Copies of this chain bind each other. A is one copy, B any other.
Amino acid sequence: MTVGDLGEFGVIGRIAGRLPQGAAVLLGPGDDAAILSAPDGRVVVSTDLLIEGRHFRRNWSSGYDIGRKAAAQNLSDIAAMGAEPTAIFVGLGLPADVTTDWLDALTDGFRDECALVGASVAGGDISRSDTVVLGVTALGDLGGRQPVTRSGARPGHVVAVAGRLGHAAAGLALLQAGRADGGDLVDAHRRPRPLYACGPGAARLGATAMLDVSDGLLQDLGHIAEASGTGIELDPATLPVAPALAEAARDLGADPLEWVLTGGDDHAFAAAFPGDVRLPSPWLVVGQVIEGKGVHVTGRSGTAGGWDHFR
């Protein structure tokens, strides 16, 4: 059966029936708008647009993986402000020949990724489309904490990361080389695993600036450097290069450190902390905030770029 057979309201009912609603959802799907609890009196909001062929491919990722990934990249934006995600909303463009099995898997992917952080899929919109399009908006609550923006890094602060770097990029390179057997790395491309608790955790540890790495460590730390009016120096010896990454790099004739520095989509958290901070695992100090501009890698000249959607 396809979504075309079900019709618009059949699709909506089918999706809504698979989605439990948490306590923060005061009014869920089915009305003109949903209503969420916002106990902090402020609400954190992030939105992303994901388009088939650019952000995912249905022959490379299952519906379930696409739902997990689309949710993850938005939920991690909320966590990167130091907030707890409460809900996501999904604008869903679907070709009429998408099967209900695929739609169910997508829905379950959204549901399961949200469940990791206690958030709900609290609403959405359905439209017919030539390709699959996902407009995802996530909301979160600061729980009385101050938000961690990109602008608070100061010379003398340390730069630390929590989560995987370069894994999704290596997995994508393996897929592009026809190596769908790429194991954990291909899985990392299909489904990021942000360490969500590290976001609010960093806020409690006194992080002065933070973001999630979506376009590549160098490019994203560049945003912190620019917003903070500082430079950042990274020590490549401290950057984590997993054995699987080194092995894939040997196979493909690539530089694993290039993946670590410029690979996006793992949604690790990168943050600055006061120099005297004691960071618990999994935080790993990889550099420091310095006077000046830009992001520099000790022993490398120039700064590599990341992903630009129009270039």
Interface, chain A (partner B; CB < 8 A) = 3-4, 6-9, 11, 26-27, 30-51, 54-55, 77-78, 80-81, 83, 87, 89-93, 96, 122-131, 133, 135-140, 142, 147, 149-150, 210-212, 227, 308-311
Contacts and interface: CB of A to CB of B under 8 A. Distances in A.
A32 B89 contact: no
Given A33-B80, A43-B139, A47-B125, 15 more contacts: A3-B310, A7-B310, A9-B308, A31-B227, A32-B77, A32-B78, A33-B138, A38-B38, A45-B122, A45-B123, A45-B139, A47-B123, A49-B92, A49-B133, A135-B137
A47 B81 contact: no
A7 B31 CA distance: 38
A128 B309 contact: yes
A33 B90 CA distance: 17
A211 B38 contact: no
Contacts of A128: 51, 54, 309-310
Contacts of A39: 41
> Which one of A46, A47, A125, A130 has the greatest number of beta carbons of chain B within 10 Å?
A47
A91 B127 CA distance: 15
